[in-house]
Structure 1
């Protein structure tokens, strides 16, 4: 069996530019691509944390150290400069490889500089863009679990 697995994730990057009149794609700082093990032309998913938009595109290498995260083409209607996005790469692998594979997770700050590398796609790093903290996730998780718990039925 072949599975599609998360292989790379750049968490909460800040969009620096949107170019509507461009052929398409996502321009990404080559340092971020290297840190995530991503390649030019690779298919990625882009999830806009700010507004919930999701799209698929391919990568173009941007100038290393520039912090560029540029949305190109029609996607610029949905993703805007200043938005926080998560960029995800997937790969196909067999079941044995999938069981032991660790993704490359790149945590960045508000200038799209790497602050931490990890293998935990749900992890939170100090200095990440967007003021997200592990405690916030724990509180949100408890609230969601409470909202999913059925209310007792009143007998009467």
Structure 2
């Protein structure tokens, strides 16, 4: 049996752009993608802390150290510049993999610069 668990999250990133007239996706600073282990074109879930919107799209690589979090296409209606987001990816694990399972949790500052990577929730 396989079970779905959180693979990685980018916690409380700030939306830097919201572009309706752009092919759908979410552009994310490559440093953040690499830290979280999220690949280009990988499906992601986005949870908007400001308005409660939750939606699915895919990740595209942004410039290193740019701090970019650009919600694009139809999803741009669900996030405005300045909104705080949680970006998550999930994976399917078998019972053996679950025994060694650890998520990758990435935390940023107010400019979307990586400050911490861990495997347990910071309180």
Q: TM > 0.5 between the two?
A: yes
The alignment of Structure 1 onto Structure 2 pairs a total of residues equal to 123
Residue equivalent to 2:110: 110
Q: Secondary structure at the match of 1:31?
A: helix
Matches within 5 A, 1:92-111: 92-111=92-111
Considering Cα pairs closer than 8 Å and 6+ residues apart, tell me whether 1 or 2 has the greater RCO: 2
Larger Rg: 1
Q: What is the TM-score of this pair, normalised by structure 1?
A: 0.77
Give CA-to-partner distance per residue, 1:54-101, whole Å, 9 cap, x none.
Answer: 000100000010000000001111111100000001111102212321
- In the TM superposition, what is the alpha-carbon distance from 1:4 to its structure 2 partner? 1.2
Matches within 5 A, 1:56-75: 56-75=56-75
Structure richer in strand, relative to its length: 2
Q: RMSD of the alignment, in Å?
A: 0.8
- In the TM superposition, what is the alpha-carbon distance from 1:115 to its structure 2 partner? 0.9
Residue equivalent to 1:51: 51
Q: Which runs of 5+ in 1 are unaligned?
A: 124-133, 135-156
- In the TM superposition, what is the alpha-carbon distance from 1:112 to its structure 2 partner? 0.2
